[in-house]
Amino acid sequence: MKKLVLAVALTVGSSLCAMAANEVTKAPPAAPYEQVSKLVKLPDFLPGMGQLFVDPTTLPAGPFLAYDHDGELVSTIYMLPIKDLNPDKRFDDLASPGGNVDHVDVYYNAGHPGVEEPHVHVVLWHVSAADEAQVAK
């Protein structure tokens, strides 16, 4: 009986994770995510990143969901303030709402509308490096 309960719990748990990933794989994602270009003065599509959506309550870090021109999720992006990258601050359990991560990029950004202070972009790519071109233009 215990094995059956455990098996059911594992199945339900993995199904919920899969359902959560499915809810964000196509743009626009469900609430609480909002289109970034409607929150701050940014274009609807940012070359190299895509069309961004974020839950405003999670700013500045995010996660930001990035979609290609066809509305397919390509990455999850965190924008971590440089001032918070110190021994007194931790960023634990950063979620990947889009599911599997193919590879990760990390790079500096001096600031932009919505996240004005210098920060680091941590990009969790859900597509291969070759498929990053989907958001290049």
Q: What is the DSSP string of 65-98?
A: EEE-TTSBEEEEEEEEEGGG-STT----S---TT
Q: What is the pLDDT of residues 97-120, one digit of tens each?
A: 989 999 999 999 999 988 899 999
Q: What is the pLDDT of residues 2-44, one digit of tens each?
A: 443 333 333 334 333 443 455 899 999 999 999 999 999 999 9
Q: What is the pLDDT of residues 78-103, one digit of tens each?
A: 999 999 999 999 999 899 998 999 99
Handedness of CA 128, 131, 134, 137 (dihedral sign): positive
Q: What are phi and psi of 82, to 5 degrees?
A: -55, -40
CB 120 within 8 A of CB 80: yes
Q: What is the pLDDT of residue 137?
A: 86
Domains of the chain in start order, with CATH, are 34-135 (3.30.200.270)
